[in-house]
Chains A and B, each alone.
Chain A
Amino acid sequence: MSQPRSIRVPILTRVEGEGALNIRLCGSRIEQIELNIYEPPRFFEALLRGRPIEDVADITSRICGICPIAYQVTAVQALETILGIRIPEPIAALRRLVYCAEWIESHVLHIHLLHAPDFFDCHSGIELARKFPDQVKRGLKLKQLGNRILEVLGGRAIHPINIAIGGFYRLPKTSQLTDLIPELQKALQESIDAARWLGNLPFPDFTAPYHYVSLIDADRYPIESGRVAIGPDQTIGLEIFETHFQEFQVPHSTALQSKFLGTDGASTEYFVGPMARLYHNQERLGPQAKRLADELRFDARRCNPYQSILARAIEVVHAFEEALRIVQALQDGRLGGLAPRVSSEPHAGIGMSATEAPRGLIFHRYQIDDVGNVVFAKIVPPTSQNQARIEADLRLLLEQIHRDSDPSIALACERLVRCYDPCISCSTHFLKVNIQRE
């Protein structure tokens, strides 16, 4: 009879927020795997009820210090659909630009300080910096440029305050944008170099049957708009998002989990984020990012989650390419004389929006009353959607490594979880790993 094994790993490092991982093994049998998010719920959806719609962007941005733009843009777009607002093209371009900056900032941080250490046998970003000072410095500079764009467009880098229903509270001067061009040109090349640095990493041999879900935007890489791709050639509109993606509660987590419900009634875990975006949209990357993906032979169909570091690196290149394209297009002064936002009169209605946060698809739905107060709000962040998939991955991994030592198992599990760049703060925070063997 197998001896029970009980292992407790107190803290999973290098993820955003706080949670725990509980594993119970009995011989080769995996009895329990629980991504335990015990952080108290933050009740943002309830907090929004009764508030004027003008408050929504500022309140939702507080959900996350890493991806506030994703929350803000998704929120205002959902409200704009209720109000019938169509924002002018230059303002839509600025929204995309500020979103690119958030991708840059978030991805570069995760690549260089949180994820890359795993591939170079380093325990921390500090140890990685000792081995690769130039590469880490380059990463910090790239992140800083993302911050700068956020400051120019968002008013400040963290929890920006300039996104408004109908546009922005204040538009940047054209010169503020053109000043960015030389830095963006340089950063684009540096981001390509950064991706090449990661191109030959020894990725663990692990695959899983992923059901990738992301937006698909007609002719461009999806960031702030699109339909939801639920299969290789199948998309749905947002109006039936909640029919196919159902949130549910599990006893071990204060964050909701989510599963995909197919037309046949079968439910499954699904995967959102850069890997899913590239799976559905690799051909829509910018020219340089696309060439780079080909050069690195990146293929999300391999379904190896460890390659998500490459997916992020490719998306950083795309984000710089896109940012540069937008800024160059706005050089002609078309922002001059443009009202920063489209005004509107409130009226009752329901509206929804989905965008691609750095960590994956994010969905918002709001109902407002005829004076412009929120009656109902629903927010589905990426990490809570990936939670069930992370647990399924861990189960597959443990089937391979259950004979290993406890520290080795804990380390391997941490590494796998980090591939998802989970933002537990978003779904609510911190990760400890407890393994029990019986």
Chain B
Amino acid sequence: MRSESREIPYEVFGIGSAQGADQVGWRVLDRLLDPWHCNPARLHRLETPLDLLGFAAALGIDERATQTWVLLDACLGESVGKVHCWRWPAVPESALPVRGVSSHGIGLIDALRLGQELGILPEFVWIYGIEIGEPQSTESDRSHSIDWVPCARLHAAIAKCASNIASRSLAMQIASNH
């Protein structure tokens, strides 16, 4: 899924699925597709963090050097709807578990560490984490999906992320044109 504009190398990746609260990353992409946002970024809908690395491994060195990535993912936390913005690698593992809520047991942090080890990440990787609640406390329950809570706070968070990302990508485009 890509927007028409390819003028700036601003890549936005929504990571998740159509299931439960895991869909917040995709929901932000949906908002970014709204023409109202005048969003010039390229949008990518991913289902696993590993797909990010497939994308990265296929990039040429020049492309990688000029790109900025924005990753959108659900993160754990009690304040449903709270939005975090971290610049990789300064991400708390407690928010994005190393494994446990992703397929293959390879979570976003694992994938980014792998990408860093391989030298295939661009210099600027921003992660927007949207808190979706905490999973069940017992270990055996960790694989259960967290139910989608269509609460106002989550919708507001999705709108806030989309607006922020659109502004940033637009600002980058304007800066690159001058």
Contact = CB atoms under 8 A, between A and B. Distances in A.
A141 B54 CA distance: 6
Interface of A: 13-18, 38-39, 65-66, 109, 113-114, 124-126, 129-130, 133, 136-137, 140-141, 143-144, 147, 156-159, 425, 429-430
A140 B104 contact: no
Interface in B5-53: 17, 45, 47-48, 50-51, 53
Contact of B118 (A114, A136, A159): A136
Interface stretch (B75-83, B105-113, B123-131, B162-170): B105-113
Contacts of A158: 17, 47-48
Contacts of A425: 103
Contact of A140 (B53, B99, B105): B53
Nearest to B19: A62
Report whether over half of chain B's contact residues are helix, strand or loop; otherwise say mixed: helix
Interface string B55-91: 1111000000000000000000000000000000000
A425 B143 CA distance: 10
10 contacts: A14-B105, A16-B103, A38-B140, A109-B50, A109-B104, A125-B106, A140-B56, A141-B57, A144-B51, A158-B47
Contacts, number: 73
Contacts of B57: 137, 140-141, 144
Interface of B: 17, 45, 47-48, 50-51, 53-58, 99, 103-106, 110, 113-114, 117-120, 140, 143
B114 A39 contact: no
A430 B143 contact: yes
B114 A126 contact: yes
Given A65-B47, A109-B104, A141-B57, A126 B117 contact: yes
Nearest to A146: B54
B114 A114 contact: no
A32 B90 CA distance: 45
Nearest to B140: A38
Nearest to B112: A126
CB-CB nearest 10 A-B residue pairs: A144-B54, A140-B57, A158-B47, A129-B117, A141-B57, A65-B103, A126-B114, A137-B57, A140-B53, A133-B118
A333 to B, nearest CB: 27
A158 B53 CA distance: 15
Given A14-B105, A66-B103, A126-B113, A429 B143 contact: yes
A14 B57 CA distance: 21
Contacts of B58: 141, 144
A65 B51 CA distance: 13
A18 B143 contact: yes
Contacts of B56: 140
B140 to A, nearest CB: 7
Contacts of B50: 109, 113, 140, 143
Given A109-B104, A113-B114, 11 more contacts: A17-B143, A18-B140, A18-B143, A38-B140, A39-B143, A113-B50, A114-B104, A126-B114, A136-B118, A141-B54, A147-B54
A129 B47 contact: no
Given A126-B113, A129-B114, A147-B51, A137 B120 contact: yes
A140 B48 contact: no
A28 B51 CA distance: 46
A86 B108 CA distance: 44
Nearest to A134: B118
A159 B114 CA distance: 25
Contacts of A114: 104
A16 B140 CA distance: 15
A140 B47 contact: no
Contacts of A143: 50, 54
Contacts of B110: 124-126
A338 B42 CA distance: 34
A144 B113 CA distance: 18
A399 B113 CA distance: 38
A136 B57 CA distance: 9
Q: Which of A13, A18, A140, A429 is packed against the most chain B CB atoms within 10 Å?
A: A140
A413 to B, nearest CB: 17
B143 A65 contact: no
B107 to A, nearest CB: 12
Nearest to B113: A126
B117 A144 contact: no
Q: Which of A13, A16, A38, A158 is packed against the most chain B CB atoms within 10 Å?
A: A158
Contacts of A15: 105
A158 B22 CA distance: 15
B162 to A, nearest CB: 22
A66 to B, nearest CB: 7
Contacts of B54: 140-141, 143-144, 147
Nearest to A125: B114
A126 B110 CA distance: 8
A77 B106 CA distance: 33
Given A18-B143, A39-B143, A157 B117 contact: no
A400 to B, nearest CB: 28
Contact of A129 (B17, B48, B118, B140): B118
Contact of A130 (B55, B104, B117): B117
B119 to A, nearest CB: 7
Contacts of A16: 103-104
Given A126-B110, A129-B118, A140-B57, A157 B143 contact: no
B51 A137 contact: no
A133 B115 CA distance: 10
A13 B98 CA distance: 12
A185 to B, nearest CB: 16
